[in-house]
């Protein structure tokens, strides 16, 4: 028999779990399910700190089962097809699941091939990404001996608007503590017009970390 829920959530990350918990707290009688294939939950907001060497990667990982709100069903499967005209979601193993309301909070799949040369650059030990592997970011920072350190910030929506700059400030502090502050120049390459929308904050940050 096909399962049906009043609220069906695709994605058991921080967003999906928070929404499920809030809805269940407000209306305990709601039937809610989360579709999430992974048994591990990663607290990604801490990846910036891992990349700067101030936090351990293992502390960002918890068992998914320990975070599923009480009374919420965990469907350990992948959502493969959305059928909004039928109020259904097709899954890889559990078949079709019906819903009254659907919340999409799925994660992302990184496709490095969309940027020419990125895969090759990541293998050289001088290009890194906190989203892909924050521990590798920390390794790259430790191997930095001086020169230009460039941090990029796109205008596309990202999980934390300040994350690209936070790792820059943390890296600059690490370089200073290592005695490299006179041997390096940190800069931010962003597609926007300024570091922050408020001019009061922009003045100081532009002076310390110029756009490139």
List Cβ neighbours of 124 (8 Å cut-off, separation of 6 or more).
none
Site of tokens 């799925």: 106
Per residue in 21-48, is it b (16+ CB within 10 Å) or e — as a string? bebbeeeeebbbbbbbeeeebbebebbb
* pLDDT tens string 33-84: 999 999 999 999 899 999 999 999 999 999 999 999 999 999 999 999 999 9
Q: Helices 163-177 and 134-143 sit at what angle, rounded to 10 degrees?
A: 30
Average pLDDT, the chain: 89
pLDDT reported for residue 199:
62
Structure tokens given for 42 = 């990663």
Q: Which of 133-142, 144-153, 157-166, 202-211 has the highest mean pLDDT?
A: 133-142
In the chain, what are the domain boundaries? 3-104, 112-205
Return the CATH fold of 3-104.
FAD/NAD(P)-binding domain (3.50.50)
* pLDDT tens string 91-137: 999 999 999 999 999 988 889 999 999 999 999 989 999 989 999 99
For residue 204, pLDDT over 70 is answered with no
For residue 207, pLDDT over 80 is answered with no
Q: What is the CA radius of gyration of the chain?
A: 21
What's the mean pLDDT in 178-194? 72
> What is the CB-side half-sphere exposure of residue 5 using CA atoms within 13 A?
23
- Per the CB < 8 A criterion, the answer to whether 171 and 52 are in contact is yes
Under DSSP, the state recorded for 69 is P
Q: Name the residue with higher pLDDT: 84 or 183.
A: 84
**3 state DSSP class of 171:** helix
pLDDT reported for residue 125:
87
CA separation (Å) from 146 to 50, 120, 132, 152? 21, 22, 24, 18
């Amino acid at each position: 028999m096909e399962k049906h829920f009043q609220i069906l959530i695709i994605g058991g990350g921080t967003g999906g779990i928070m929404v499920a918990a809030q809805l269940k707290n407000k209306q305990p009688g709601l039937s809610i399910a989360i579709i999430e294939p992974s048994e591990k939950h990663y607290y990604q907001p801490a990846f910036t700190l891992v990349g700067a060497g101030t936090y351990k990667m293992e502390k960002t990982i918890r068992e998914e089962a320990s975070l599923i709100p009480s009374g919420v069903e965990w469907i350990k499967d992948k959502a493969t097809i959305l059928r909004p005209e039928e109020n259904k979601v097709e899954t890889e193993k559990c078949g079709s699941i019906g819903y009254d309301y659907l919340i999409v909070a799925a994660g992302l799949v990184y496709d490095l091939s969309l940027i020419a040369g990125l895969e090759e650059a990541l293998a050289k030990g001088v290009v890194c990404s906190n989203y892909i592997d924050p521990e590798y970011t920390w390794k790259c920072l430790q191997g930095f001996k001086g020169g230009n350190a460039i941090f990029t910030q796109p205008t596309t929506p990202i999980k934390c608007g300040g994350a690209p700059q936070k790792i820059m400030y943390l890296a600059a502090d690490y370089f200073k503590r290592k005695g490299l502050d006179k041997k390096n120049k940190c800069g931010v390459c962003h597609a926007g017009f300024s570091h922050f929308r408020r001019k009061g904050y922009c003045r100081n940050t532009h002076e310390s970390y110029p756009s490139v």
